[in-house]
Structure 1
Amino acid sequence: MLHLKGVARKNPQDDTAASKYYAYAITTGMVDFERLAYLVSNQCTVRVSDCLAVLRALEHNMMDELEQGRTVQFGDLGLFHIGVSSEGKTTPEEVNSATVKGARMNFRPAKRLRKMLKGLEYKMSNE
């Protein structure tokens, strides 16, 4: 169940308008590699240390592949790839690495993850 709270937000297009309240998802904690390794090890015959080693190797290899410009398909979670933002130029010849403002991580959820998102149940944090 996903916990929510109401958060006031101003209209960026109208500074004089009253704030409106919108649902905001509250995180209920953080799960690190050690916890994931522990959970995986309890579902199979592999030790926690082996799971942790695999997760670290996966992390390293995903970052390496992304850095080389590849899209990484992460099972039923989805696709990761790097995108950039840059200054606009009038001709393609003017575009170069100096026009890049920064990079970001793009993620496209796979069908199974999108289905999970549609089936989420919500609860207000003050209930």
Structure 2
Amino acid sequence: MSIKFKTMARKNPRDLAAPEKYYASVVANGATNLETMAELISAQCTVTETDCIAVLNILEENIIRELKQGRIVRLGKLGNFQVGISSEGFDTIEEVNANAITKSRILFRPAKRLRKLLSNLTYQKAS
């Protein structure tokens, strides 16, 4: 199995007058939702699908609660979630306050096994 990609033309956002360049972009092969993941998990162990859904839902709620507290959520062999922020730059420490924050996002840092997956992928150009 390989990851399909297509070619996309993109402008340089820093120089809109520059000619477009072409980049590879992944073509998604569908999506898997929470219910499907619960079904797959329940087929591989003794836990029921309903129990899996309940656990995955409460995991999501607890990840959100912990991130709101500013904590890093470490999920063992899966990886870590953390809130990240971007801010404007200022000349002095005194100028930096909460209003300087321009963007927040959820950072996910995959654990070793997930990172290793990336080195073993194969790619195929979509037709």
Note the alpha carbon deviations across 1:42-82, whole angstroms, 9 max, x for none.
00011110000000010000111111011112222321110
Residue 106 (1) aligns with residue 107 (2) = yes
TM superposition score normalised by structure 2: 0.89
Q: Which residue of 2 aligns with 1:33?
A: 34
How far apart are the structure 2 equivalents of 1:62 and 1:108? 14
Paired amino acid for 1:125 = A
Residue 78 (1) aligns with residue 57 (2) = no
> CA 1:12 to 1:89, structure 2 compared with 1: closer, same or farther past 3 Å?
closer
Cα RMSD between the aligned structures?
1.5
> CA 1:101 to 1:116, structure 2 compared with 1: closer, same or farther past 3 Å?
same
Q: How many residues align?
A: 126
Residue 57 (1) aligns with residue 58 (2) = yes
> What are structure 2's unaligned runs of at least 5 residues?
none
More displaced 10-residue stretch of structure 1: 12-21 or 99-108:
12-21
Q: Which residue of 1 aligns with 2:7?
A: 6
How far apart are the structure 1 equivalents of 2:11 and 2:54? 46
> What are structure 1's unaligned runs of at least 5 residues?
none
The aligned runs of 1:105-124 (5 Å cut-off) are 105-124=106-125
Please state whether the residue corresponding to 2:30 is helix, strand or coil. coil
How far did residue 83 of structure 1 move? 1.0
